Amino acid sequence: MTKKYFGTDGIRGEVGKGAITPEFMLKLGWAAGKVFAEQGRCKIVIGKDTRKSGYMFESALEAGLVAAGADVQLIGPMPTPGIAYLIRTLRANAGIVISASHNPHYDNGIKFFSSEGKKLPDEIEYAIEQKLAEPLVVVDSSKLGKASRIDDAAVRYIEFCKSSIPPMMELSGMTMVVDCAHGATYHIAPFVFEELGATVIKIGAEPNGININHNCGATQPKALQEAVLLHQADFGVALDGDGDRLIMVDHLGEVLDGDEIMYIIAKTRLDKGYLGGSVVGTQMTNLGVEHALNRLDINLLRSAVGDRHVIQLMNESGAILGGEGSGHIICADRTTTGDGIIAALQVLEAMLRQSASLHELKKDIQKYPQCMINVSLNGSGRFILTDDIKKAVELIEAKLAGAGRVLLRPSGTEPLVRVMVEGEDLDLVESLALELSKTVEQLLQH
């Protein structure tokens, strides 16, 4: 079965187009309410990031859920991982996050979480889509749901974040810059680090509804780099609009991506004796990070790109740590989904335990240059790995002589195939990526 609305991470698009309209959200709320209420009375938590459109969609979803007989608890602006946590503590049947994550303000989307604070299984998404095809019928007025607002949601999540590191561990003496991307962590992240004793310099913490992710946050760390150097801070933390991604900057202004952050946490878990086996990355995880993990006798498992796939492989393999270079870090021994604040605290714990700077903690990693070129499918439909394309890849791999790798990955959101070459020599990597992309483009036209 194929899904009409749900993608790899919920439903997402430009506000006012396609499914991202008030009318659709009303029907979506009703459909979800009917599915979740099949076992009787149900309670649904709704949270959002700071996009102006989030208020419109919150009201529409609330109306649809109540019309289906579901009770609604509104928690306002809250990081996606915070919503996943609150679903569990509030004993809700499910949760809805109104967010387009790292996208600009003119996009928005919907993500669902189960009662366990995890992404919904495919069968539930299918059930919601099937219900969307039915006419909206309001339950009897005596069975309508109720809506209420949770006023202490931020305090609850702040305390949860603080509890993710040992109780006697403090950040006093540390000066850090925190970039909240004008998003859902603006009233959470600075307070977590301040209450643990750090001196915090806030940037990207003045949301106005349309500045979310604009020239700031995990996807654009330049502002964080500049602020760390300006204030001579020990390090910096950049989150994205919904708080599930983390990028860090050391005292020299050098960026640490999700791969490097995952390595630091893995090494600390190993030193403490509870890593619990392999670490899960993706097809894009840097080969240099894999080699650094291997030197610690830590095996790296690779999933398809996307935190949903990382979590799935973690569940299958029993791994407690996984992540992506983009900054999604999942510490399954702490929480159920990618959490930028929780991941940052695990890195800070590593710094304190080893009495080392962030720059020192990454010194064992020698990242390989990667070059990725997008090739348009030009209306050719789905990407098919033909024998000719396989031969072209094998030729490039032979030129790498075992000191690199090649990856062809169809985009999940655009009619593109991403051609990636990775190796020790940057000039060679770039020339081989260009050569392969041209070959793939020619073969796709035939």
Classify the C-alpha dihedral 67-69-74-78 as positive or negative.
negative
DSSP at 119:
B
Classify the C-alpha dihedral 225-227-230-236 as positive or negative.
negative
- Which of 53, 99, 101, 278 is catalytic? The answer is 101
- Helix 80-89 vs helix 153-162: angle between axes, to the nearest 10 degrees? 100
Kindly state the tokens that stand for 265.
């946490």
The answer to whether the CB of 94 falls within 8 A of the CB of 36 is: yes
How many C-beta neighbours within 10 Å does residue 274 have? 9
Residue 172 annotated as catalytic:
no
| Residue 378 burial by Cβ neighbours in a 10 Å radius (0-12, 13-18, 19+) | exposed
Any residues with CB less than 8 A from the CB of 336 and at least 6 apart, and which? 84, 85, 88, 116, 117, 118
The answer to whether the CB of 420 falls within 8 A of the CB of 285 is: no
* Residues linked to residue 46 through DSSP beta bridges, in sequence order: 74, 96
Residue 417 backbone phi and psi in degrees, to 5: -120, 130
Measured CA to CA, the distance from residue 216 to residue 249 in angstroms comes to 13
Measured CA to CA, the distance from residue 309 to residue 256 in angstroms comes to 22
CA 439 to chain centre: 33
CA dihedral 272, 218, 342, 165 (to 10 degrees): 60
Q: Which residue has the tokens 């394309």?
A: 389
Q: Are strands 416-423 and 404-410 parallel, antiparallel or unpaired?
A: antiparallel
Q: Which of 355, 179, 190, 363 is nearest to 263 (CA)?
A: 363
> Which runs of E-coded beta strand occur in 66-132?
71-77, 94-98, 107-114
Residues that are catalytic: 101
